[in-house]
Amino acid sequence: METFKKYQPEFIFHLAAQSLVRFSYEEPKLTFDTNIGGTVNIFEAVRKTPSVKVLVNITSDKCYENKEWIWGYRENDPMGGHDPYSASKGCAELLFSAYLKSFFSTAQDLGAPSARAGNVIGGGDWGKDRLVPDCIRALSSGQTIGVRNPRAVRPWQHVLEPLGGYLQLGAALWGDPLRYSGSWNFGPDDRSYLTVSAMTESLIKYWGHGSWDDLSTPQILHEAKLLRLNCDKAHTELHWHNVLTIDECLQMTVEWYKKYYKENQNVDMYAVCLSQINGFTDKQKNFIRDNE
């Protein structure tokens, strides 16, 4: 609250979270405290800070009650969660709905949406028990990749895709807070849904060498096998679309890590990040121009 008082912000993007499913089994209380208690703290600070005009709350596609059906979940589908992480994100969405209806919607000049994205990849992710970082750690050290759940299907997208959507949503809220408040999905199209095994093989291909082993065993800890998002709302209302193919996402990701691990050369990773961001925004501009 003191930070809000000091700086009187106008835009708030809340992305902080304990974001690892398997870690949530090890530390369920920490997961709930962070993802529910931390979210309440942000909402309370926004409620008491009149300068805030835009609050973009970010949760996860795992907030939905996952029935592992083939259809994409829409923004008005029920919340749920089998594991502590998913449950914490479903709870965070219920909190958002309560604050939106009780407080945020009564402030005429405050726009407040909640955004849900599918699995993101990209350079600089070092999370434990996440597929791409685990693969990169193994490939960079010459070890065989161990894959727990090779037949699971995930919606993969480069992290810049939903981030661009969040910024686009924030800009739209500034001009029309009432219209753009509420819930939004930001996920890839069907061509970017791959099995974990196919994703691993593609990473090996772009790395240049490597191998993987199937470590799947009867599951003790529940992990979803299929989860799809329906993003028609973002496509129609914001004209937001993914602009990178899954191969471009993988190439960008592997390129970042290969430069990070490059021996005997001082690589400016900040410059690498800026180069990828600029390349992505150029591709966005071309997509918008070609689809006007």
User: pLDDT digits over 90-132, tens only?
Assistant: 999 999 999 999 999 888 789 999 999 988 999 999 998 899 9
Task: Count CB atoms within 10 A of the CB of residue 70.
Answer: 7
pTM of the predicted model, to two decimals? Answer: 0.92
- Assign domain 2-290 to its CATH architecture: 3-Layer(aba) Sandwich (3.40)
- Reference 81, options 10, 25, 147; nearest CA is 25
∠254-284-126 over CA atoms, to 5°? Answer: 30
pLDDT tens digits, one per residue of 73-87: 999 999 998 899 999
pLDDT tens digits, one per residue of 138-160: 999 999 999 988 988 888 999 99
Per the model's pLDDT, the better-predicted residue between 192 and 173 turns out to be 173
- Upper half-sphere CA count for residue 166 (Cβ side, 13 Å): 20
The full set of domain ranges for the chain reads 2-290
- Reference 116, options 19, 22, 253; nearest CA is 19
Pairing of strands 193-195, 153-158: antiparallel
Confidence check: pLDDT of 220 > 60:
no
Distance CA 87, CA 24 (A): 10
Average pLDDT over residues 207-227: 79
The single residue listed with the structure tokens 């998002």 is 229
